[in-house]
A and B are shown apart, each in its own frame.
Chain A
Amino acid sequence: MATKNYAGVTVDVNEEGYFTDPGQWTKEVAAEIAKEEGIDLTDKHLEVLDYLRTKFISGEALSIRGINKSGVVDVKTFYQLFPGAPLKKSTKIAGIPKPSSCV
């Protein structure tokens, strides 16, 4: 297992850079990972990350449809906030595992 240093905090990550312990996550850490992904975190980003973390911690599966229905963000905005591969990027920044969902 690898470790990475973000904002002065050492975190455990897997070979793809996803957190293995979501408890090590902080907002400062998130901002650093986002920068690595070419994203400047805004309040809206944080709101989405918070939603993703809450969902993950309560054991619910993440899907693009679920995000659209969440009331936090619509899919179009979600794609704009995390351009490219939004679900993969946002979960990485949120310090939770990569979702295994196909939808």
Chain B
Amino acid sequence: MSEENKYPIKKVNIICAKGTIEDIYAALVMGNGAVMEGIEMNLFFTFFGLEGIVKKWMKKPHTAVIGNPAMRMPGLGTRMPTWLGIIPGLEAMVSGMMRKQMDDLDVPPIEEFFELITAGGGKIFACKLAMDMFKIKEEELSGHVSGVLTVGEFYELSGGEGSQIIFT
């Protein structure tokens, strides 16, 4: 760490294309982490990632209990049988537990995370094509979103020396 890094990352451009808790939060933690290190940061939400920036959807993100072989029983550590996932309300309960655990670790809800990110100069964008597909209007997005971009505009924004694009 103390060795001087000749090629430091100066800018990261993170694309979040999926909308589960872990997808959205991976992008948020990496994005906020970059801002905290003084790295310029753009966070771009597309496809199901829109779940994280549409006001009426972003309050309670969910995680998948079906089709998620890494899901384990809390406290027991054994794998959760896939068929349990069909129990009504189980997904909401598991998702609620995950949100609670994150809150205990001082990981904020999405809107508050956006506040921290934008306060530090990080920028948040939405994808135009995905918005058209999901029939979302700009006024339905969180107030922290600074614009709706086409893919070309995203690449333009991402340019520069020491800049990286990360697709989560």
- Give the contacting residue for A64; candidates B105, B116, B121; CB below 8 A: B116
**Cα(A61)–Cα(B36), bound, Å:** 16
Q: Which among B1, B32, B106 has the highest number of chain A CB atoms within 10 Å? A: B106
B108 in contact with A65 (CB, 8 Å) = yes
Instruction: Determine if A101 is an interface residue (Cβ-Cβ < 8 Å).
Output: yes
A85 in contact with B107 (CB, 8 Å) = no
B112 in contact with A65 (CB, 8 Å) = yes
Given known A-B contacts A87-B36, A101-B106, A103-B107, A65 and B116 have beta carbons under 8 A apart? yes
A76 in contact with B108 (CB, 8 Å) = no
B106 in contact with A15 (CB, 8 Å) = no
Instruction: Determine if A63 is an interface residue (Cβ-Cβ < 8 Å).
Output: yes
Q: Which among B32, B37, B112, B120 has the highest number of chain A CB atoms within 10 Å? A: B120
The interface size of chain A toward B, counting residues with CB under 8 Å, comes to: 22
For the complex, would chain B's binding face be called helix, strand, loop or mixed by DSSP majority?
loop
A64 in contact with B36 (CB, 8 Å) = yes
B33 / chain A contacts, CB cutoff of 8 Å: 102-103
Which A32-71 residues have a C-beta within 8 angstroms of B? Answer: 61, 63-66, 68
- Give the contacting residue for A103; candidates B106, B115, B120; CB below 8 A: B106
Instruction: Determine if B38 is an interface residue (Cβ-Cβ < 8 Å).
Output: yes
Instruction: Determine if A86 is an interface residue (Cβ-Cβ < 8 Å).
Output: yes
Instruction: Determine if A8 is an interface residue (Cβ-Cβ < 8 Å).
Output: no
Q: How far is the CB of B84 from chain A (nearest CB, A)?
A: 31
Instruction: Determine if B78 is an interface residue (Cβ-Cβ < 8 Å).
Output: no
Instruction: Determine if B119 is an interface residue (Cβ-Cβ < 8 Å).
Output: yes
**Cα(A83)–Cα(B108), bound, Å:** 22
Instruction: Determine if A21 is an interface residue (Cβ-Cβ < 8 Å).
Output: no
B29 in contact with A74 (CB, 8 Å) = no
Given known A-B contacts A16-B2, A85-B36, A102-B29, A76 and B119 have beta carbons under 8 A apart? yes
Q: How far is the CB of B31 from chain A (nearest CB, A)?
A: 11
Instruction: Determine if A23 is an interface residue (Cβ-Cβ < 8 Å).
Output: no
Pairs across A and B, CB under 8 Å, 14 listed: A15-B2, A65-B112, A74-B119, A75-B116, A78-B119, A79-B119, A83-B38, A86-B36, A86-B120, A88-B36, A88-B37, A103-B29, A103-B33, A103-B107
Q: Interface on B for A, CB 8 Å cutoff?
A: 1-2, 29, 32-33, 36-38, 105-108, 112, 115-116, 119-121
